[in-house]
Structure 1
Amino acid sequence: MDRYILYETYRLAILIDLIQPAELIREIDLYITAAPVEEIPHVFYVLSLASNRRVMLELLTDLAKGVDQELPSHIVAGLLHERRDQYDSTELYRKAGMLASLLSDPEEDVAVEFKELAYRNEVAQQAYGSRFKRKKTRERMLAKNEQELQNGLAKYAGFAQHFSFQEWGH
């Protein structure tokens, strides 16, 4: 995988709070300690020493300029699927919606799909969130929407598997 795709993947993941900057720094530090010095890009030292989230995001944004966001967005959606048990449905919708809104191409598959899922969930919340609706009907409809989100994320699970075993040097 192209290194610039990795930069964009990490940038998107950090922006939606899926990966913390400290996680990226740990990965880079592990790479730095394991790789021969001549194979380590200078920017890795700069990223490893990033003082805060804002600085890291600025660096990643500069590094990833011009990279097509399709593959990185699919990877981030797959990572979100892998970590779905860590979040309640509201947080999953928030992260998926943030990912969709961050993409520069609003017609990209991930953007269209997650915006549609968020919209349908919002409509269901409004329709079935009323105190006048039956509780079981509301719970069933909201569970159906949550399952659709889970299925939407599951489509991208394979992309995250490749990312998990990614070596920085290739």
Structure 2
Amino acid sequence: MVKDGKAITTVEAYVQAYYNRLTDSKTADRLYLDLSQLKEAFNHADSDAGEQPNLDLAVKYLAPDTLRFLEGLQDNLDNEGILASIKAFNELYENKKVLVNVKLTSAVPLTAEQKMRIMNKMEKRIGEATFFVKEVVDPTVIGGVRLESENHYFDNTIATKLKEMKRHILTD
């Protein structure tokens, strides 16, 4: 039985939302690997002969994050729904050139709009990427923000500016 377009659209929307909520690139990498292995279980089953994939064996080795992802499919947790979700996730994952873990430190919690503006500026600096942002509230920075990733560091905090001013005054 072929699913209607509405069900597939629902699966794709779920996958997009889940992907956008991932907290780090390692989770995305693990999901991609697990879903690729799950897809292989479907590919090895001969559907023309009525053979079903051995999902019990495939699911046994999935990471907890992958199982949570699959549980979220709810009404679409059948062969077609699983395959549609795998396809949608893999397209998102493979179309992003760079996965970047970012630690965003500020003195107070930021609004969604503030985070979006900051991450848009970060994207302009390093190019198109999927950002996995871990937000840290640290009152000792006094104000401003600090962005840290594996390859980039941007510190525009008041605490750092005060340290630089002190160092500058003491060296003159």
**Which range, TM-score by smaller chain?**
under 0.3
Query: Could you state the TM-score of these two structures normalised by the residue count of structure 1?
Result: 0.28
| Structure showing the higher helix proportion among its residues | 1
Bigger Rg over Cα: 2
| Structure showing the higher strand proportion among its residues | 2
Query: Could you state the TM-score of these two structures normalised by the residue count of structure 2?
Result: 0.27
